[in-house]
Amino acid sequence: MTMWERMKRYINVKHQIGDIITRQEMLHYLYQGPPPKTSSYGTTGDKYKRCLSKLGILETVKRGQYKILYHIKDTVTSTQIKELTYNENWKQWFIDIKVGE
């Protein structure tokens, strides 16, 4: 299972919309133990969390805590998530990546 697949499972299966998750618990789940020491840019899990926050799937409650606003469509790939997040014109071709409310 890839890191992205684990992230989708953590958001979609382990939690319900409206749940509050912590960065520490999320990273522990993604890495199946303590996360590795990182550079100043963070872990891969942090990068996916940032993408999901920028796209409105996660909402920052306070530092290190995030509310799940939507689930992620199962067919969305990590490449699509990155393109949606960092492409300046993403709104022009935004695909439906959110499931439910």
Please tell me the pTM assigned to this model.
0.80
Residue 89 is predicted with a pLDDT of 58
pLDDT tens digits for range 6-32: 999 999 999 999 999 999 999 999 988
Kindly list the domain boundaries of the chain, sorted by start residue.
3-99
Instruction: Determine the Cα–Cα distance for residues 37 and 96; give it in Å rounded to an integer.
Output: 34
Question: Which parts of the chain fold into alpha helices (H)?
Answer: 3-12, 23-31, 44-54, 78-86
Residue matched to tokens 């695909």: 95
